[in-house]
Structure 1
Amino acid sequence: MTSAYRPPRDAFWFARTRTYTLFVLRELTSVLVAWTIVFLLMLVGALLGGTFRDFTALAAQPWMIALNVVALVATAFHAVTFLNLAPKATVVRLDGWRVPAWMIQGGNHSAWLALSVLIAYFIMRSP
Structure 2
Amino acid sequence: MTEDDIIRAAGCVLWRRSPVDGELEICLVHRPKYDDWSHPKGKLKRGEVPLTGALREVEEETGYGAVPGAPLPTAHYEAGGRPKQVDYWAAEATEGFFTPNHEVDRILWLPPITARHRLTQPRDRDLVDALLSALNLT
TM-score norm. by structure 1 comes to 0.24
**Larger helix fraction of residues:** 1
Instruction: Tell which has more relative contact order, 1 or 2 (C-alpha 8 A, sep 6+).
Output: 2
**Larger strand fraction of residues:** 2
